[in-house]
Structure 1
Amino acid sequence: MENVGVKDNYILVQRLKSAGCFIVCVLLALICLVPLYIMIMNATHGDAALRAQPLQFLPGGDLMTNIKNIAGGEFPQSPNFNVWLGYRNSLIIAGCTTILTVFFSALTSYGLTVYDFKIRDGAYTFILAVMMIPIQVTSTGFVKFMVGTLGLANSYIPLIIPAIAAPAVVFYMRQYMKSSFPLDIVEAARIDGSGEFRTFLTIAIPMCKPAIAVQAIFAFVQNWNNFYTQNMIIISNEKRFTMPIMIQSVLGQDKHPDLGAQYAAVALSVIPIIVIYLILSRFIVAGVALGGVKE
């Protein structure tokens, strides 16, 4: 009887812990989703309605009017705002940088995890040290080299190629590989005659899909929202303007600001991020489910 009582108490404690974790997760989800929901609802209301009630929780009927008022209307918020041009430029930059960041970071992490060489620990320490240097510290030399020496002003190259060096992504990918990537499978592939690079492409990448998907989401969001490098350093040609630059031109409107148009502009800039998350989230869920099934 005593064993039955102890078992019942243990089950009760576990259920209380699960309920507490569930409540915390729900609260965190609401903290993340409620501002996004309010932004979308505000984008469907006009300027007058938003000035009367800044927070709207029900959809309105002024979404298309707000979109038209961004670049047109009586008081255009940004005459140079072109959503398709902004999408094109931002997708080129964010898409290419995400691919380069994830691929070369995974390759670097694979080398630091699989191979045992003398300077491995020193190389990893150096990579971590680079993480501590903010981009603002190196921006002067970066601009002088890219614009002054190479003449790459208003070019995609300075915004894409440097993305190969992503120490934070290397750090997270290496931590994932050290905990979830079995080195025995690499030895087995070598015995079967697989080349090193082929082993990385056909074995390491498929096994690291959850980590790659997570870092791809982070990299895409970071480069999509990269206003400092794009606007303040490299981009000045209107044909090269990305979404962050165009959004800033809308939000920086001091004369006759239209709140509805501003919310609509921000909502338009968020759509690709949501789409990328929905596409990659299935890899995260699949990886968690696969990791939970072990003998």
Structure 2
Amino acid sequence: MEWSSKTVPERPDANNGKTGRILSRLFIYLLLIGSAVICLIPFYSMFITATHTNSSIARQLLLIPGDQLLDNYHRLIETVPIWRGFANTTLISVISTLLTVYFSALAGYGFSKYRFSLSSMLFAIVLGTMMIPGQLGIIGFYRLMDSFGWLNTYWPLILPSVHNAFGVFLMKQFADSSIPSEIIESGRIDGSGELYIFHRLVLPLMMPGIATLAIFTFIGKWNDFLNPLIILFDNELQTLPVMIAGVKSQFTADFGAQYVGIVISIIPILIVFSIMSKRIISSVAAGAVKG
């Protein structure tokens, strides 16, 4: 007895569904590519502009690279000690970021997992400080630093990073949703101290939130212009944004040299963002797999 096999034809609605999925995926890809191009246009324009003369920058829209990059760079380093400013900004930004993420994680964890009297009111006060513009207190801050003898030093730019209202808020919200109380109780049952529990059990679980806060903090400190301009008087101590703003002659600004300085200043931000964003993605993916 012979068995005959017949190919079952696909239904029209199945073909329509497959075509619809392909078109929807193609639309999403095109949308993502368009968004990436739009985001990359300012960076492309910045790099291209850094390779042209001042007259070309002032007169026309530049789309192709020029041949003035080295000349602009030489004028930049002759005008300001740009690499000294790079080192100064790196020192301030790295130390400030470390202080901010650590103490914000510690305070956010405390507000999240420790219930004590007036905790809600204290947290409300912390949030209330976010509504006050920092520029309003700049005169009082300057006089306070003057009374401490800290003007023209890095202490006023680094030590305030210990308190960060946004960081405390972000870490508290992350601890509320991602740190189970059972882990803390298990550590206490094993006889571990509170700081040991925080450093060995809680802090690794908060890494995605810490990476997010580190990105915002580093970028904010790296681009800080007002505070170094007011606190620092010595040109050798100045940060990169202040030095780049000072690249100008008596009557005109040197746009070519300024754009080279901007290119130099943007590279560390891109590196930090790429490293921390990968940390966020890997931590979230690991948590999803474990969950």
Task: Give matches, 1:75-86, under 5 Å.
Answer: 79=79, 81-86=80-85
The whole-number CA distance in structure 2 between the counterparts of 1:241 and 1:235 is 6
Is 1:53 the equivalent of 2:60?
yes
Is 1:241 the equivalent of 2:247?
no
2:287 to 284, 288, 291: 291
Percent identity, aligned pairs only, is: 36
Is 1:42 the equivalent of 2:39?
no
Cα deviation code 1:162-193 (max 9, x no counterpart): 11110011111211121222221111111122
1:109 corresponds to: 108
The whole-number CA distance in structure 2 between the counterparts of 1:192 and 1:60 is 66
Cα deviation code 1:96-143 (max 9, x no counterpart): 111111100000001011112122211111110011111111111111
Is 1:30 the equivalent of 2:26?
no
Taking structure 1 as reference, are residues 128 and 258 closer, same or farther at Cα in structure 2, changes over 3 Å only? Answer: same
Cα deviation code 1:11-59 (max 9, x no counterpart): 9988887766665554444343220121012112333443453332x33
Structure 1, unmatched stretches of 5+, are: 73-78
Taking structure 1 as reference, are residues 187 and 6 closer, same or farther at Cα in structure 2, changes over 3 Å only? Answer: farther
The whole-number CA distance in structure 2 between the counterparts of 1:294 and 1:17 is 31
The whole-number CA distance in structure 2 between the counterparts of 1:187 and 1:15 is 50
2:119 corresponds to: 120
Is 1:166 the equivalent of 2:164?
yes
The whole-number CA distance in structure 2 between the counterparts of 1:21 and 1:166 is 38
Return the offset for 1:88: 1.5
1:277 to 268, 273, 278: 273
Taking structure 1 as reference, are residues 240 and 209 closer, same or farther at Cα in structure 2, changes over 3 Å only? Answer: same
The whole-number CA distance in structure 1 between the counterparts of 2:27 and 2:149 is 57
**Matching residue's letter, 1:42:** T
2:258 corresponds to: 262
**Matching residue's letter, 1:34:** I
Contact 2:81–2:236 at 8 Å: present in 1 too? no
**Matching residue's letter, 2:262:** V
The whole-number CA distance in structure 2 between the counterparts of 1:133 and 1:39 is 34
The whole-number CA distance in structure 2 between the counterparts of 1:93 and 1:138 is 21
The whole-number CA distance in structure 2 between the counterparts of 1:12 and 1:191 is 58
Cα deviation code 1:246-283 (max 9, x no counterpart): 01112x55634333222111111112212222332221
The whole-number CA distance in structure 1 between the counterparts of 2:191 and 2:85 is 47
Is 1:226 the equivalent of 2:232?
no
Larger Rg: 2
The whole-number CA distance in structure 2 between the counterparts of 1:268 and 1:122 is 44
The whole-number CA distance in structure 2 between the counterparts of 1:29 and 1:131 is 32
The whole-number CA distance in structure 2 between the counterparts of 1:183 and 1:8 is 51
2:188 corresponds to: 190
**Greater shift after overlay, 124-133 or 271-280?**
271-280
1:76 corresponds to: none
Structure 2, unmatched stretches of 5+, are: 1-10
Give the secondary structure class of the aligned counterpart of 1:292. helix
**CA-atom RMSD in angstroms:** 2.6
Q: TM-score, normalised by structure 2?
A: 0.86
The whole-number CA distance in structure 2 between the counterparts of 1:8 and 1:129 is 58
Taking structure 1 as reference, are residues 258 and 136 closer, same or farther at Cα in structure 2, changes over 3 Å only? Answer: closer
2:6 corresponds to: none
